[in-house]
Amino acid sequence: MARPTSATIHTDALRHNLGQIRLRAPDSRVMAVVKADGYGHGLERVARALGGADAFGVASLSDAERLRAAGISQPILLLSGFDEPADIERLRQLHVDTAVHHETQVQMLEQAADGEPVRCWLKVDSGMHRLGFAPEVVRDMHARLAALHGVVGEIVLMNHFASSDEFDGPQTREQMRVFSDATSGLPGQRSLANSAAVLGWPTAHADWVRPGGAMYGMSVVAGTSGADFDLRPAMTLATRLIAVNTLHRGDCVGYAGTWSCPEDMRVGVAAIGYGDGYPRAAPAGTPVLVDGRAAQVIGRISMDLMTIDLRGHDEARVGSPVILWGPELPVERIADVAGTISYELTCSITRRVRFVEA
């Protein structure tokens, strides 16, 4: 019998979320960010479901190759840009746009052999201090790119926000000012807004928005879930109980005996662990649903299994369904108690989990 752990991907939720993003940014084109295997939801599956998106954003050329092989015809942007001269020819073959964030990339384009021109998105470091050109060199880099026969059309100008999940926070406002000053008077479309900025910074929407987590129904705004923004979770992670044991007061549960029974009680064992991508850092008390009702993790998460407090769940039995996250239990709640963000949890699901499309 197959392991009962599954991740159900709700394609209708993906389409709903795309619609919500368009409602929030009606004057912007939408680039659906599908890096990290569609945030763990499956790259091709997500792209097919989001056929109404204007473009897709990826982090690697291999992702772009997969999308083209799957018949995806929309524009694709390589968000981190190309790494070596040989990549330029592959960009041409795949008809993939590239971010340009460093002078070495400009030099490679200047030295590239003749061929089909590439569309470039020039990245401005407006304060993230990760990738992008410093504001004082943006005009020079723009001029060098614009002078190249190997660069097609107007250059799109972009940046990335560091703390747009803090609505009305000073850093995002300052980044918008820096970007505006650095690009003032330059031709071309603009792209600033990531998921959080789509939700909370309407003045940053510009010509293109680039939602990632929001497309999958997730929020990184502290104390909220995607549902607070009319988004729907696109993944349900589920398994089943494979054992129900009656333990006695004082019995220790799991590795290192970190949790002991306060009374005689039933304990369920569910077929999921960090080998499936569930966070080992999830402490006792982390919520789950058993037969659709609230329950809690007890003991340490192990590679293949977790243990669950079944007090108040007299009906629970071997085979009872266990929901780890989904529409009824936001993944943001699990991320919060595990000390991480929802994006990491969905991206961490491993290959032994069975994916189901709904």
Last residue of a domain, one of 174, 189, 222: 222
By DSSP bridging, strand 55-58 and strand 76-78 are parallel
* pLDDT(143) > 90: yes
Mean pLDDT of 88-107: 98
Q: What range does the domain containing 217 cover?
A: 11-222
CATH number at residue 310: 2.40.37.10
* pLDDT(39) > 80: yes
Helix axes 138-146, 103-111, angle to 10 degrees: 20
Contact yes or no for 235/7 (Cβ under 8 A)? yes
Whether residue 42 is contained in a domain is answered as: yes
Answer whether 0.85 is exceeded by the pTM: yes
Binding residues: 130, 303
Q: What is the pLDDT of residue 2?
A: 81
- Given 216, 255, 278, 343, the catalytic residue: 255
Q: pLDDT above 70 covers what percent of the chain?
A: 100
181 and 92 part of one domain:
yes
- Distances from the Cα of 222 to the Cα of 66, 132, 226, 333, angstroms: 34, 27, 11, 10
296 and 171 part of one domain:
no
48 and 174 part of one domain:
yes
One-letter amino acid of 11 = T
Task: Give the pLDDT confidence of 224-267 residue by residue, as tens digits.
Answer: 999 999 999 999 999 999 999 999 999 999 999 999 999 999 99
311 and 204 part of one domain:
no
Which pLDDT band, with edges at 50, 70 and 90, does 1 fall under?
low
178 and 90 part of one domain:
yes
Last residue of a domain, one of 195, 222, 249: 222
Whether residue 229 is contained in a domain is answered as: no
Q: How many domains does the chain have?
A: 2
Binding residues for substrate: 130, 303
Mean pLDDT of 190-208: 98
Mean pLDDT of 258-278: 98
Whether residue 227 is contained in a domain is answered as: no
Average pLDDT, the chain: 97
Whether residue 2 is contained in a domain is answered as: no
Which of 72, 76, 40 has the alpha carbon at shortest distance from 56? 76
215 and 244 part of one domain:
no
Whether residue 85 is contained in a domain is answered as: yes
240 and 210 part of one domain:
no
Whether residue 23 is contained in a domain is answered as: yes
241 and 216 part of one domain:
no
82 and 176 part of one domain:
yes
One-letter amino acid of 358 = A
Q: What is the pLDDT of residue 220?
A: 86
Torsion of CA 218, 219, 222, 227, to 10 degrees: -80
Contact yes or no for 310/318 (Cβ under 8 A)? no
150 and 286 part of one domain:
no
- Given 35, 39, 123, 216, the catalytic residue: 35
CATH number at residue 208: 3.20.20.10
Last residue of a domain, one of 222, 255, 273: 222
Confirm whether 274 is a catalytic residue.
Answer: no
281 and 337 part of one domain:
yes
Contact yes or no for 234/10 (Cβ under 8 A)? yes
Mean pLDDT of 170-194: 98
192 and 326 part of one domain:
no
Confirm whether 216 is a catalytic residue.
Answer: no
Task: Give the pLDDT confidence of 279-323 residue by residue, as tens digits.
Answer: 999 999 999 999 999 999 999 999 999 999 999 999 999 999 999
The whole-angstrom separation of Cα 162 and Cα 132 is 13
Whether residue 171 is contained in a domain is answered as: yes
Whether residue 101 is contained in a domain is answered as: yes
* pLDDT(350) > 90: yes
Which pLDDT band, with edges at 50, 70 and 90, does 197 fall under?
very high
